[in-house]
Amino acid sequence: MGLVIQFLTITGHLASTLFAFVHLGGGDAAAAFYDNMSAPWYLAHLGFYGLSFLVTDLLVIHRVHVIFSNSRTVIILPFIFPIVQVVSTAELTYQLSKSHPGEQSIVLYGLSNPWVTTTLVTSIVLVFAPT
């Protein structure tokens, strides 16, 4: 079930990424489409992004739990990382939902980079923490 959910979230993220290129044919129309980061489709794109990380990390935590003979003490620390990911994805979504169409993408990426980096780093640390 977890792998099916992971497949669907990653596929949804990919589909929302490529939507403008397929639907609008790329070029300036696609660039203008991607500039509106407060649009509902872009916020759904961020939702797929966060969900795919969350599902993947929960699968890793489950695997660690099984490997260590269902010991609950082993998974206490790794459960902190998905919580941090949920918070960072929610903050990233909130920051971008406040943006206005046509606002400088550079400014928005400056606001979002710490939250994106936090999500990525917590995933990497989670993978290497139990070993």
pLDDT of residue 110: 66
Using alpha carbons, select from 64, 81, 83, 80 the residue that is nearest to residue 123.
81
pLDDT tens string 17-73: 887 778 777 778 777 777 777 778 888 888 888 898 889 889 988 888 888 888 888
pLDDT of residue 79: 85
Contact criterion met (CB below 8 Å) for 122 and 81: yes
Contact criterion met (CB below 8 Å) for 24 and 35: no
Helix orientation angle between 2-24 and 27-35, rounded to the nearest 10 degrees: 130
**Can you read off the two tokens belonging to residue 63?**
């695997």
Torsion angle, alpha carbons of 57, 59, 60, 65, to 10:
130
**Distance between CA 70 and CA 30 in Å, rounded?**
49
**Can you read off the two tokens belonging to residue 16?**
């929302």
Cβ atoms < 10 Å from Cβ of 2 = 12
Q: Residue 96 is which amino acid?
A: L
pTM: 0.74
Residue with tokens 């070029």, as numbered in its chain: 27
**Distance between CA 121 and CA 14 in Å, rounded?**
21
